[in-house]
Amino acid sequence: MRIVLTGAAGFLGSHLSERFLDEGHTVVGVDNFITGSRDNIALLQEREGFEFHLHDVSTPLFLSGPVDGILHFASPASPVDYLEYPIQTLKVGSLGTHNMLGLAREKGARFLLASTSEVYGDPAIHPQPETYWGNVNPVGPRGVYDEAKRFAEAMTSAYRSHHGLDTRIVRIFNTYGPRMRPGDGRVVSNFIVQALRGESLTLYGDGSQTRSFCYVSDLVEGIYRLFHSDCPGPVNLGNPVEFTVRELAEEILRQVVPTEAESDLKSGVENASRLRRLPLPEDDPKVRQPDITLARRELGWEPVVDLHEGLTRTIPWFRKQVNESDARARPLT
């Protein structure tokens, strides 16, 4: 198959591109590098069957030749990014989705939309099934991302019902792993980088808010299965095992600075040099846990990598990034 993947230089997009290449497909990667990494594209361009287009999909994309599938992953996806690029986030969720749906219709291609658990907002139902409509503040600081994805889902559903387009929608919950940007503002990357640099880990609120952390290889497997399935979705993909943010911080400390952290945690002392509290951001969800009943039934999918193992695979990648960054920042003598 010839696959178009927008956001190919991003964290998830680069891993997905690799998976499709590994399976023998041709991948046309599209990115404008607003948050994607040129290093990720350099890795992909070494692969046979990969071609790249530098393009902002908020404007129409014209491609010659057949296209069998389009996976639309282009979007700023972390709070740091969509708060810095609010208009671009709204445009790629609306105009970008419209343009890629139009390309899919022109080519007769299957279309998969990367949506998000953020469509559930600060949920009043826990865990969150796909039938839950969500609790989103459209004019709050997170609304630019949440509503962009909600609109993208509505547009995708309209193309399916009105034009008969073959579509899929995946709602992605917190995912982590190698190739996350060290400064992307997500809780896993924040905590790992702070721990590696010997800084205090920043807890917002009392750290009791919960998240469910899915390792990237598990998520990619689920998306690949969804793309090749007959299930239009939306389908939740994420790890249903729930952790408090404080528990995540403690696990990262155990792996990065095991002796000192274990001593602090066993004594029950919250060392000020280890955990630092700040006010909870506006509209920050208190809980987040996917109900993956549909994914289990329709895709035969569930995560296999637990948090401890996933962090063990992820921390060395961040250590390399931090060491290289710190080396570049040191003055020449």
Residues taking part in catalysis: 145
User: Sheet containing 110-116: which strands, arranged edge to edge?
Assistant: 50-54, 26-31, 2-6, 69-72, 110-116, 167-172, 235-237
Which strand (E) or helix (H) includes residue 203?
A: strand 201-204
The two three-digit tokens of residue 237, written as one number: 């993909």
CA separation for the pair 243, 188 (Å, rounded): 12
With a CB cutoff of 8 Å and minimum separation 6, the contacts of 72 are 6, 7, 57, 96, 97, 100, 111, 112, 113, 114, 152
Sign of CA dihedral 134, 137, 143, 148: positive
What is the crossing angle of helices 216-227 and 11-22, to 10°?
Answer: 60
Hey, is 115 helix, strand or coil? strand
Task: State the Cα torsion 153-156-162-167 to the nearest 10°.
Answer: -120
Whether 276 contacts 217, CB under 8 Å:
no
CA separation for the pair 287, 239 (Å, rounded): 14
